[in-house]
A and B are shown apart, each in its own frame.
Chain A
Amino acid sequence: MSDPLLAVDGLRIGFGPAKDGAEAVRGVGFTLEAGKVLGIVGESGSGKSLTMMALLQLLPGQARCSGSARFRGKELIGMRKSEIRHLRGKDIGCVFQDPLSAFNPVKTIGDQIVEAIRLHDRRISRRAAMKEAEELLAAVSIPQPDQRLRQYPHEFSGGMRQRAMIAMAIANKPALLIADEPTTALDVTVQAQILDLLRTLTRERGIGLVLITHDLGVVAGMADNIAVMYGGRFVEAGTADEIFYHTRHPYTRGLIEAMPKLDRPEERLVAIEGTPPSIWSRPPGCSFAPRCYFAQERCRQQEPELRDLEHTRSACLRAEELPPRETVAHAQDTGKDMTL
């Protein structure tokens, strides 16, 4: 039998005392097949970063974590430090949000990529690793890679830095790449280039990608599957098309409406009103209820579980009753051809 690349189940992450502390991630589960792209979308504070950091045991020291996360069948949660260290940066690569702070300011880009290579293979000489680093920079389309190698992070532009970060993350040919808001710190024009690079690299090299973002637009053309996260849970999950065209959750709907429309930029964006609940004061029942247009009394009493619907899986008590989104209008919005 073949295990999926990544299978997460019942992942929980909490802070504070075990009894009456707060939970930031509350039972998250998904699977990712090799070479596929999963987009995890949700507002800031919904628990996306924690979820991914838990896989590499890179959670802040005081966090409590339980549940299961199997990488090629091997359990990551609770794996010995000495063992998981060999997966980090080797089989699982990471790209972070702010490439300026993510690089060490006092070391050259070349040294940092060389370190990534040699941490996992001491037999490679520094010189050979430097050569490899140069090829990697070329692969992520950084001009004059031989000179760039000798420069410090602050000498790179934001976009180039993120390219270098991606080069470093794929240095050891990982099977899984975790990209946590890789374009959030960048200019809009550069964002598209970085996404393009990620898409090409992962496709060419058969790398599975978990792409974390607060912007549904980012995963629109990229993800095979999308999970929408709110208040520490997945509130809706499905294929990209299912999410965009058959969403059965008011929160997802809000995110879609908040996307900038390429062909109608003059239209005001409809942001979801209100702010997400703090993990320390989550309302009972559906965590989205205080902001939900469709909320009813029962929503404030009973917490909805993720359940299978015709298209997506949704955690909304009223999933079936929601009036349909104007799918045709949306098709125009995203420029997608709906005439099958």
Chain B
Amino acid sequence: MLRYVIKRMITIPFLLLGVASVAFVLSQMTKGDPLAALLPERMMSNPEVVAAVKAEWGLDQPLPVRYGIYIGNLLQGDMGTSFTTRRPVAQDIAERLPATLELVIAAMIVGSSVGIGIGLLSARFKNSALDIGTRGFALLGSSVPIFWSGLIFLYIFTVRLDWAPGTGRLDARSTPPPDITGMYTIDALLSGQMTTFIEALSHLLLPALILGWTVTGIVARLVRSSLLDSLGQDYARTARAKGAPERVVLLNHALPNALIPVLTILGFTFAYLITGAVLTEAIFSWPGIGSYAVTASRSLDYPAIGGVTIVGATAFLLANLVTDIAYAWANPKIKVSQ
């Protein structure tokens, strides 16, 4: 098992290199002109200024040279400088990634636990009103667009009821907790700042619920069908024949088997949300990777786009690895054969 993990880890950098190269090539194939992001429009007609800016940002070099420089820098952890923020992309990402991670982790916790709960209820009470109701709720989560549900929730809970604070990670005038992990709730807890913790948590709640709802939809459906399948298996009949009540058959026998395929989906959803939480971040002014990616692609900010691509790819590769390990751990047949 350890050897397998190490082998997989070794392949990750090579895969990332491939991803970076593809991202580079793709970004060069787009029609737009990154100068638009670098220069105010009225200066575009001045050839000297254009040449100077091109030289400054290396845009005057031939493609292979730019590729070589880009990859060379990448290997040293340098993702280049963003055209728009004019700061190192690595630094931008380091600041924004924790915000996204905090949001996505919270959404995953909420979404998967509610999803598993709903899956259990609807499998146990198949075709009952409870089943139909909870499945409807879960289905809404994965089909209602976030820009809609996000705005509605924001309107109801923040504007109308005033239960939830406004957008952003903290109230406008609050200072963030000391930077340990970059996730405000955890940093506040670690440094014992309870008021900051509660404030950060209350800011996190609504976006995490909205984003988590989409996860709920995916998870609940899979858990339900996976459970129903398990409940029809021979081992479930054996459990019943042993005298196990249906609750025990469900929780002790069907669930552990049913969760194995769910692990894969959870891993992929997590990786997807790292760059896919764009809308939630936009609506809740959450300074994460998703909103960074939107700005970057709107202004053809190649370095930033490349950086986000690499982060996204890393998330997928790591999630894949972790999922495989978890899968093997949950599935004794694989554990032993490796």
Q: Which residues of A contact B (CB under 8 A)?
A: 56, 58, 85-90, 93-94, 96, 98, 101-107, 115-116, 119-120, 152, 154-155, 168
Contact = CB atoms under 8 A, between A and B. Distances in A.
Contacts of A154: 332-333, 336
B202 interface: no
Interface residues of B, number: 23
B85 interface: no
A103 B248 contact: no
Given A106-B330, A154-B333, A155-B336, A86 B243 contact: yes
A256 to B, nearest CB: 31
Nearest to B233: A101
Interface stretch (B66-74, B149-157, B249-257, B304-312): B249-257
A155 B260 CA distance: 19
Given A152-B332, A154-B332, A104 B257 contact: yes
Given A105-B257, A106-B331, A89 B235 contact: no
Contacts of A155: 336
9 contacts: A88-B243, A94-B241, A98-B234, A101-B234, A102-B234, A103-B238, A104-B235, A104-B256, A115-B252
Given A105-B235, A106-B332, A152-B333, A119 B242 contact: yes
Contact of B243 (A90, A98, A102, A152): A90
A111 B281 CA distance: 46
Contacts of B256: 104, 106-107
A336 B2 CA distance: 61
Contact of A85 (B245, B331, B332): B245
Given A119-B248, A152-B333, A154-B333, A104 B238 contact: yes
Nearest to B257: A106
A152 B252 contact: no
Contacts of B332: 105-106, 152, 154
A58 B242 contact: no
A94 B92 CA distance: 64
B50 to A, nearest CB: 65
A106 to B, nearest CB: 5
Contacts of B233: 101
B109 interface: no
Contact of A120 (B235, B243, B248, B253): B243
In the A-B complex, the 9 residue pairs with the closest CB atoms:
A89-B242, A89-B243, A101-B234, A94-B241, A104-B235, A88-B243, A152-B332, A116-B242, A102-B234
Contacts of B8: none
A10 to B, nearest CB: 24
B87 interface: no
B240 interface: yes
A77 B244 CA distance: 19
A304 B242 CA distance: 38
Contacts of A106: 256-257, 260, 330-332
B298 interface: no
Contacts of B257: 104-106
B42 to A, nearest CB: 68
B326 interface: no
Given A106-B257, A120-B243, 20 more contacts: A85-B245, A86-B243, A88-B242, A88-B243, A89-B242, A94-B241, A96-B238, A98-B234, A101-B233, A102-B238, A104-B238, A104-B253, A105-B235, A105-B332, A106-B260, A106-B330, A107-B253, A115-B244, A119-B242, A119-B243
Contacts of A102: 234-235, 237-238
B239 interface: yes
Contacts of B331: 105-106
A47 B238 CA distance: 19
A177 to B, nearest CB: 11
Nearest to A92: B241
A112 to B, nearest CB: 8
A240 to B, nearest CB: 27
A58 B243 contact: no
Given A102-B234, A106-B330, A58 B240 contact: yes
Contacts of B252: 115
Nearest to A178: B241
A88 B241 contact: yes
A86 B242 CA distance: 9
Nearest to A165: B238
Contacts of A103: 235, 238
A317 B155 CA distance: 82
